[in-house]
């Protein structure tokens, strides 16, 4: 069975979309473990679904977080999925797993990506730029921040009455569809 590790930093709603996809379909993969860089609700979601969890506190480990995660994972997973993981992985980690690390980002990359662009900040920037559309992107992780090759995107219309909060909710709904779909595509490609 194809095994994935899901890395999170928050509530884990994208993690839940993967769990739900696995439980309601004949997914050809399983979640081997969930790793967080701090205490968060996503860990509870994983534990409630009997998935192995591990916390590597970014405030304690700082620059060593990538090394510790790499040692913990070893060669037991086929794909690393960043689902709201806020720590930046170092170049060694990325090079060791090139083509086998993906990230979901809540904008239509290359727009509104890069350092500091996460969470509600992205949606505020989209509204301030008066964009007509936004969306989400699944991309390969490379040494840059949100610069890896795009795998797939989903778009949403930005309405005149949208706020950063309403836009965030619309984009998140699309993330929940896009991420499991992209994982399935990669499972077929990498198996």
The residues carrying an active-site annotation are 105
Which residue(s) pair with 34 in the sheet?
6, 53
Distance CA(172)–CA(177), nearest Å, equals 9
- Is 98 part of any known ligand binding site? no
- Is 13 part of any known ligand binding site? yes
Distance CA(40)–CA(9), nearest Å, equals 6
Which element (helix H / strand E) includes 32?
strand 29-36
- Is 96 part of any known ligand binding site? no
- Is 99 part of any known ligand binding site? no
Q: Among residues 21, 27, 171, which one has the least CA distance to residue 104?
A: 171
Distance CA(50)–CA(63), nearest Å, equals 30
Tokens of 31: 């979640």
Q: Among residues 149, 131, 27, 141, which one has the least CA distance to residue 79?
A: 141
- Is 103 part of any known ligand binding site? yes
* Residue stretches of the annotated binding site: 12-14, 58, 103
């Amino acid at each position: 069975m194809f095994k994935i590790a899901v890395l999170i930093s928050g509530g884990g709603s994208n993690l839940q979309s993967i769990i739900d996809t696995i439980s309601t379909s004949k997914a050809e993969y399983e979640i081997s473990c969930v790793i967080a860089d701090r205490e968060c609700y996503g860990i509870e979601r994983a534990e409630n679904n009997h998935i192995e969890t591990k916390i590597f506190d970014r405030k304690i480990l700082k620059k060593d977080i990538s090394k510790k995660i790499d040692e913990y994972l070893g060669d037991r997973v086929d794909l690393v999925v960043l689902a709201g993981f806020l720590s930046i992985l170092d170049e060694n980690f990325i090079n060791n797993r090139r083509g086998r690390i993906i990230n979901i980002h809540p904008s239509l990359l290359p727009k509104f990506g890069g350092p500091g662009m996460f969470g509600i900040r992205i949606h505020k920037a989209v509204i301030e730029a008066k964009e007509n559309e936004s969306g989400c992107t699944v991309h390969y992780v490379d040494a840059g921040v949100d610069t890896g090759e795009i795998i797939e995107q989903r778009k949403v219309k930005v309405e005149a009455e949208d706020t950063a909060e309403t836009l965030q909710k619309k984009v998140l709904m699309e993330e929940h569809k896009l991420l499991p779909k992209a994982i399935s595509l990669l499972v077929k490609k990498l198996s």
